[in-house]
C-alpha cells in the first residue's frame, strides 16, 4: 500500500507543479491556443483516426512510453473503432520517414525535435508539426501525462484537429538551474539512501528533480563519488530518530533528509521539496554551513490529543487545506444545511491510508486535512471502558499475539477479556492491520480521548451500537447493551461532536433507533446539560422511512435533520437518486448522506459527482485524502 500511495502522491505533485496544465484540464481542443490564422483557405483537418497512421515511439524506450503507447491505441479504438499500427522509430539508412505517423515520446524524427526544443522543464506538448501529430514531454513521465490529457480531453471532443493545433502545458514552479555552492546540481551531486526502506523515497526525489530541474541524479546505496550528496538516513547527529521524527539539514557538504520511519522520511522529503525546490529560480544551497532547515519531534501523546496542531500527519507538505475547511462553524453550517454547497465529508475509521485504522493519529489526520466527521467503532474492555476498535478481537490491528497467554495476559484476543491497562501495552499495526503490517508506536485510543480531541473541531458517528447506548432512557435501544456513553460526554463536556446517528442493529423495530427515539435522546441531553446534539440518522428507501424521518426531524429537532439514506450508494439505482432529489425539494434543510466505502469501485470522484448532483451533501469514504480535495472545489 505504501508503494501505491507514494506513486499516487508523486503523480499528484507533478500535476500540481504544472499549474497551467491543471487549469486547462477541462478544456476542449476548441479552447486550446492555436497559431495565428491566415487569410488562405484552411487546410483539411488532421484526422488522428486515419487507418493509414502508425503510432511511432523511440526504438529504445522506457516501459512508461510503451504503456502510454498501448493506452493511446486502445482509447482511439474504443472510441472510434479504428486500430492503429504501432512501431519503433528505427529507419534503414537513407530512408525517409513515412508520411502517416503519430510521434509519441522522444523519437528520432525532425518533427519531435522541433516540438521538444520549445519545452521547458516540467512541461509537455501536443501539436501538429509538418503534418504529423507530435505528443512529447520533457521527460517520459510527462509524455505519459500528455497521453492522459489527449485521452481525457481531445479524444472525447472529436477525431480531427486543425492543422495549426498546439497545446503546451506550463510549469510555473520550474526551478531552472538548481545549484549547490554555485555549481549545477547535475554536475556535483548524487542521491544516496542508507537503508533499502528509504530507496523508494530516494527514487521519488530523483524523479521530481528530473521533472523540475531537468537533470537526473544518480541514486545509489550508501555512498557515491559526487562532491555533494542528498542523503536519506534514519540517523541525525549520530542518533536514530523516533518513528515520527524527521530532519532536513545541511551538514558536511551534504543535504541530510532524516526520518525514523518510511513515513517520517517521506514527510521530510516533501518538506525539502516544499521549502527548497518550490521557491523558483536558481537555488544556492549553502551546504558547508551546518544548519537545520526542518525539525520535528513528536510531542507527548496527551499533548497532541489536547492540541492536535502539535501532531504532524504523514501527508504534511503534500496537501494544505484552506483555513475555512478547519472552521468548526462551517462544519455546523454544512451539517444544518445553512451552507448547502459545503460537502460534509465523513472518514470511515479515520485516515488509514497514512495511519493505523481507528487510531487517534488517524483521527487527527482527518481533522488536519479538512475533514468534517469521523466514523468510529466502540468495543468495551473487561473493566468496562469503551475503546476504539472495529473488531471484537485485538488480532488484526495490534501486536496482541506477542502477549496472549504470557506473563498473566489473557489467553484470547477478545477485547472483552482484556483490561484497559493490559490493552495499553499493545501497539497498533499500520493501515488496516493484519499479521504482515508493520507495528507502530501508536497505542489503542479510548472514547474519552477521542471526545477530548474532537470537541469544537470535528463530528463523530459512533458505530457498533449493539455494544452501547447513548443514555439511560427506558424503552429505546433495548437490543443494545446497557453501556452508556453519556457519562463520557459529560466528563469531557463534549455533547455537540457526537451525532445521534445510525442506530441500527437489525431490521426489527427494537433493533432500529427511530426518528422519534432520536428526538428523545436529544431532549434528554438538553434537559440535563443544555447542550443540543445533531442528527445523522439512518433510514431506508426499502423500509419507507426516508420521508417520515425527514418530517419528524424537520418538525421536531432543535438543531437539524440529517439523514443517512440506505448507507451504501449505488449510482445505477435511479429510484434512490429520485427519492433523494424529492426529499431535498420537500425538506430543503435536510442533510442527505451516503457512503462509497464498499469494494465496488464506487469510492471515487466519478461517483461523488453523481451523488452531489443528486443532492447528497454528505459522503463517507475510505479515502479521505482524495475526498477533502474533491470537496475543496465545491
Do 230 and 290 fall within a single domain? yes
The closest of 599, 603, 591 to 630, measured between CA atoms, is: 603
Do 155 and 228 fall within a single domain? no
Global confidence as pTM:
0.79
Residue 177: per-residue pLDDT: 61
Domain-located, residue 422:
no
Do 156 and 210 fall within a single domain? no
Q: What is the CATH number of the domain that holds 277?
A: 3.30.379.10
What is the per-residue pLDDT across 513-529, written as a single tens digit (0 to 9) for each?
999 999 999 999 999 99
What is the per-residue pLDDT across 458-508, written as a single tens digit (0 to 9) for each?
999 999 999 999 999 999 999 999 999 999 999 999 999 999 999 899 999
> CB count, 10 Å around CB of 224?
18
Do 160 and 187 fall within a single domain? no
Mean pLDDT on 550-564:
97
Directed axis angle between helix 515-529 and helix 546-556, to 10°?
20
What is the per-residue pLDDT across 48-78, written as a single tens digit (0 to 9) for each?
999 999 999 999 888 889 999 999 999 999 9
Do 118 and 183 fall within a single domain? no
d(CA 352, CA 255): 31
Residue 170: per-residue pLDDT: 73
Do 587 and 606 fall within a single domain? yes
Domain-located, residue 310:
no
Looking at 134, 168, 202, which one is the last position of a domain? 168
- What number of residues does the chain have? 634
CA angle 186, 210, 190 (to 5 degrees): 40
What is the per-residue pLDDT across 348-359, written as a single tens digit (0 to 9) for each?
999 999 999 999
Give how many domains the chain has, as a whole number: 3
Contact 347, 373 (CB under 8 A): yes
Residue 174: per-residue pLDDT: 55
User: What's the domain range around 239?
Assistant: 179-296
Residue with grid cell 562532491, as numbered in its chain: 227
Alpha-carbon distances, residue 606 vs 20, 300, 319, 572, 576 (angstroms): 23, 41, 21, 13, 17
Q: How confident is the model at residue 40 (pLDDT cuts 50, 70, 90)?
A: low
Domain-located, residue 154:
yes
What is the per-residue pLDDT across 183-195, written as a single tens digit (0 to 9) for each?
888 888 999 999 9
Instruction: State which H helix or E strand residue 295 sits in.
Output: strand 291-296
Do 484 and 586 fall within a single domain? yes
Domain-located, residue 60:
yes
Do 229 and 92 fall within a single domain? no
What is the per-residue pLDDT across 136-167, written as a single tens digit (0 to 9) for each?
998 888 899 999 999 999 999 999 999 999 99
Do 504 and 467 fall within a single domain? yes
Q: How confident is the model at residue 301 (pLDDT cuts 50, 70, 90)?
A: very high
The closest of 366, 327, 368 to 349, measured between CA atoms, is: 366
Do 160 and 191 fall within a single domain? no
Residue 72 grid cell: 493511446
d(CA 232, CA 445): 32
Domain-located, residue 126:
yes
Dihedral pair phi/psi, residue 41, rounded to 5°: -60, 135
Do 116 and 232 fall within a single domain? no
Looking at 135, 168, 201, which one is the last position of a domain? 168
Do 354 and 500 fall within a single domain? yes
Mean pLDDT on 428-457:
98
Average pLDDT, the chain: 90
- pLDDT-above-90 percentage for the chain: 79
What is the per-residue pLDDT across 93-137, written as a single tens digit (0 to 9) for each?
989 999 999 999 999 999 999 999 988 777 899 999 999 999 999
pLDDT at 402 over 50: yes
What is the per-residue pLDDT across 580-631, written as a single tens digit (0 to 9) for each?
999 999 999 999 999 999 878 999 999 999 999 999 999 999 999 999 999 9
Domain-located, residue 112:
yes
Domain-located, residue 489:
yes
Q: How confident is the model at residue 41 (pLDDT cuts 50, 70, 90)?
A: low
Contact 91, 56 (CB under 8 A): no
Q: What is the CATH number of the domain that holds 564?
A: 3.20.20.190
Domain-located, residue 247:
yes
Amino acid at each position: 500500500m505504501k508503494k501505491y500511495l507514494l506513486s499516487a502522491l508523486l503523480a499528484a505533485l507533478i500535476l500540481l507543479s504544472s499549474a497551467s496544465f491543471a487549469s486547462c484540464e477541462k478544456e476542449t481542443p476548441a479552447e486550446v491556443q492555436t497559431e495565428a490564422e491566415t487569410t488562405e483557405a484552411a487546410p483539411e483537418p488532421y484526422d488522428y483516426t486515419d487507418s493509414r497512421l502508425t503510432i511511432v515511439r523511440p526504438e529504445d524506450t522506457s516501459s512508461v512510453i510503451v504503456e502510454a503507447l498501448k493506452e493511446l491505441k486502445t482509447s482511439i479504438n474504443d472510441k472510434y473503432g479504428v486500430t492503429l499500427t504501432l512501431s519503433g522509430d528505427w529507419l534503414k539508412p537513407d530512408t525517409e520517414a513515412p508520411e502517416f505517423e503519430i510521434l509519441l515520446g522522444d523519437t528520432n524524427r525532425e518533427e519531435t525535435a522541433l516540438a521538444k526544443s520549445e519545452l521547458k522543464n516540467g512541461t509537455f506538448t501536443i501539436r501538429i508539426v509538418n503534418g504529423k501529430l507530435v505528443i512529447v514531454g520533457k521527460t517520459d513521465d510527462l509524455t505519459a501525462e500528455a497521453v492522459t490529457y489527449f485521452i481525457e480531453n481531445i479524444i472525447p471532443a472529436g477525431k480531427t484537429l486543425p492543422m495549426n493545433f498546439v497545446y503546451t502545458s506550463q510549469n510555473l514552479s520550474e526551478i531552472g538551474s538548481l545549484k549547490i555552492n554555485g555549481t549545477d546540481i547535475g554536475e556535483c551531486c548524487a542521491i544516496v539512501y542508507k537503508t533499502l526502506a528509504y530507496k523508494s523515497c530516494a527514487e521519488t526525489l530523483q524523479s521530481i528533480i528530473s521533472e523540475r530541474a531537468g537533470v537526473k541524479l544518480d541514486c545509489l546505496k550508501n555512498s557515491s563519488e559526487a562532491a555533494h550528496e542528498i542523503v536519506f538516513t534514519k540517523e541525525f547527529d549520530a542518533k536514530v530518530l523516533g518513528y515520527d521524527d524527521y530532519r532536513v539539514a545541511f551538514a558536511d557538504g551534504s543535504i541530510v533528509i532524516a526520518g525514523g520511519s518510511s513515513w517520517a522520511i517521506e514527510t521530510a522529503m516533501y518538506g525539502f521539496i516544499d521549502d527548497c525546490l518550490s521557491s523558483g529560480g536558481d537555488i544556492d544551497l549553502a551546504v558547508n554551513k551546518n544548519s537545520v532547515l526542518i525539525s520535528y519531534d513528536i510531542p507527548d501523546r496527551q499533548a497532541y490529543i489536547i492540541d492536535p496542531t502539535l501532531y504532524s500527519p504523514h501527508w504534511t507538505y503534500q496537501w494544505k487545506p484552506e483555513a475555512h475547511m478547519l472552521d468548526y462553524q462551517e462544519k455546523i453550517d454544512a451539517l444544518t444545511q445553512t451552507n448547502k454547497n459545503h460537502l460534509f465529508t465523513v472518514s470511515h475509521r479515520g485516515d488509514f491510508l497514512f495511519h493505523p485504522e481507528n487510531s487517534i493519529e488517524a483521527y487527527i489526520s482527518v481533522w488536519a486535512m479538512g475533514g468534517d466527521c469521523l466514523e468510529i467503532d466502540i468495543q468495551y474492555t473487561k473493566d468496562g471502558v469503551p475503546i476504539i476498535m472495529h473488531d471484537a478481537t485485538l488480532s488484526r490491528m495490534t501486536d496482541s499475539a506477542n502477549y496472549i497467554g504470557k506473563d498473566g495476559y489473557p489467553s484470547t484476543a477478545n477485547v472483552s477479556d482484556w483490561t484497559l491497562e493490559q490493552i495499553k501495552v499493545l501497539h497498533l499495526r499500520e493501515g488496516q492491520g493484519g499479521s504482515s503490517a508493520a507495528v507502530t508506536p501508536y497505542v489503542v485510543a479510548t472514547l474519552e480521548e477521542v471526545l477530548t480531541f474532537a470537541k469544537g473541531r470535528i463530528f463523530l458517528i459512533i458505530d457498533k451500537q449493539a455494544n452501547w447506548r447513548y443514555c439511560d432512557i427506558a424503552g429505546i435501544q433495548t437490543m443494545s447493551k446497557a453501556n452508556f456513553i453519556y457519562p463520557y460526554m459529560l466528563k469531557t463536556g463534549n455533547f455537540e461532536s457526537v451525532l445521534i446517528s445510525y442506530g441500527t442493529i437489525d431490521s426489527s423495530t427494537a433493533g432500529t433507533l427511530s426518528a422519534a427515539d432520536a428526538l428523545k435522546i436529544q431532549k434528554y441531553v438538553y434537559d440535563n446539560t443544555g447542550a443540543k446534539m445533531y442528527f445523522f440518522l439512518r433510514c431506508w428507501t426499502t423500509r419507507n422511512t426516508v420521508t417520515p424521518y425527514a418530517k419528524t426531524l424537520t418538525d421536531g429537532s432543535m438543531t437539524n435533520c440529517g439523514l443517512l439514506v440506505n448507507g451504501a450508494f449505488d449510482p445505477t439505482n435511479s429510484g434512490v437518486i429520485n427519492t433523494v432529489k424529492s426529499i431535498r425539494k420537500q425538506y430543503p434543510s435536510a442533510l442527505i448522506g451516503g457512503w462509497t466505502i464498499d469494494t465496488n469501485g464506487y469510492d471515487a470522484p466519478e461517483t461523488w459527482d453523481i451523488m452531489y448532483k443528486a443532492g447528497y451533501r454528505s459522503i463517507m469514504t475510505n479515502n479521505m485524502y482524495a475526498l477533502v480535495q474533491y470537496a475543496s472545489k465545491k
